[in-house]
Copies of this chain bind each other. A is one copy, B any other.
Amino acid sequence: MIGHLLRPEIEELIREKNWDVLRETFCDFHPSDIAEIITDVPEADDVALFRILPRERAGEVFSHLPYHHQETLVRSLSNDQMRVLLTEMTPDDQARLLEELPPIVTRRLLETLSPAERKDARELLGYPADTAGRYMTPEYVALKAGMTAREALEYVRTTGRDKETVNVLYVIDANDKLVDDLRLGTLVMADPNAKIADLFDGPLVSLTSSTSLDEVQRTFEKYDRIALPVTDKNGEMLGIITIDDILDVARKEATRDIQMIGGSEALDAPYMEVSFWEMVKKRGGWLSALFLGEMLTATAMGYFNNEIEKATVLAMFMPLIISSGGNSGSQASTLIVRALALSEVKLRDWWRVFGKEVRTSLTLGTWLGLIGFIRIIVWQKIGLFDYGEHYYLIAATVWLSLIGVVGFGSVSGSMLPFILRRLGFDPATSSAPFVATLVDVTGLVIYFSVAMVVLRGTLL
């Protein structure tokens, strides 16, 4: 907060290259404010600015910089400076940094770590992405069940200083098995002579290293915890996950889902920072695939060329019909994708969803069809357009087609995410545009089939 107020003064100091005063000023700043300032100054200045940071803050500030900025900095720092930097970062920040930087930079960084530190980072990196293992930090305080509250507090006091969080403490037995977790608050408020084993502040909730990130999020939400312990499958304590990391994860996942629903690959970076070619590649891939699918509409139209020649009036309502199918399909698929992501709906619910969508979509289709029917009749009656003598039949074709198209759109839009999940894909890939494309082709077939039945003997 203070960063915003003092911004002009700081920029002044940077212009004057008044490093001594700057170094002092920075002492009172939050690392993420300093990171923001570094991000904003011209590139020539940022390395200089970074170097004047007190050693113990540099690591923290570094974790708050955007990745491309971290890369630039790493390239311009000496090995010794990098060593200081990395050792001041928490192991989970280290691991994520090492994973996301280009491989050459990663190797250079790993070389600067001490063997013990390298082991920490590598161990964390050994767990598959999107599992609890990847997000845990081994920096927690472990207590023994036999300690008294006073002893435990004394133990926290002497060993806790560098641990990422001491808000929650973990009770382990002689074999490193996790027995209980205990809030620091409970410990502080307990009778100093009480045994740890007798303190109880709610049942133990724990994760294993292979718990999926989705499940981790739900567990945090369900149990309102600020940190959760992670064990291996034998119940041995490995590390902890803190809620602030999960808040970041939740937001990033929602962003990925939203971008995929919108019909593009996940950008995995802020919009403004994605380069021109990267943007073309990530969006062009999906657009091309959709375009190829959409070309089937031209193929389908080839079969109905005769009908259009005989009754060009049918072409007029084509966009209206197919886009209504696309809209209802996008709507249904989006609702189901999100419901699946939140586990509001499970795979086995597909049949109930199917029934719900059939009822909802037939109602919606009948309603939209009615609007379309009335529109055609009214336009004809007040003379806005002449649909020919069989305008009643055309209006009926539109109505019936809309029921079919909206019904098919909603049902296929809602079932697609289930099918994708069942096949092991991310349901969010069933993006709105994908469903719309699918429904466009079938929409045309439905429309012309209905027309051929209704208009047989009159227009066709």
Contacts and interface: CB of A to CB of B under 8 A. Distances in A.
A353 B251 CA distance: 22
A344 interface: yes
A230 interface: no
Contact of A272 (B153, B202, B255, B349): B349
A262 interface: yes
A436 B283 contact: no
How would you classify the secondary structure of chain A's contact residues: helix, strand, loop or mixed? Answer: helix
B185 A165 contact: yes
Contacts of A226: 167, 226, 243-244
B433 A331 contact: yes
Interface stretch (A46-54, A123-131, A296-304): A296-304
Contact of A287 (B188, B258, B320, B327): B327
A324 interface: yes
A160 interface: yes
B371 A262 contact: no
Nearest to A277: B363
A172 interface: no
Max chain B Cβ within 10 angstroms of own Cβ: one of A184, A309, A338, A367: A338
Contacts of A338: 255, 258-259, 262, 271
A13 interface: no
A222 B272 contact: no
Interface stretch (A15-23, A25-33, A105-113): A25-33
Contact of A284 (B220, B305, B345, B364): B364
A459 interface: no
Interface string A303-323: 001001100110111111011
Interface string A257-273: 11101111001001110
Contact of A327 (B279, B290, B331): B290
Interface in A225-255: 225-226, 243-244, 246-248, 250-251, 254-255
A41 interface: no
B272 A334 contact: no
21 contacts: A1-B205, A1-B206, A157-B189, A166-B189, A217-B251, A220-B244, A221-B244, A257-B258, A258-B338, A267-B335, A271-B345, A272-B339, A280-B360, A283-B360, A284-B367, A288-B367, A288-B371, A291-B368, A291-B371, A326-B433, A327-B437
A111 to B, nearest CB: 29
Contact of A291 (B166, B261, B324, B337): B324
A103 interface: no
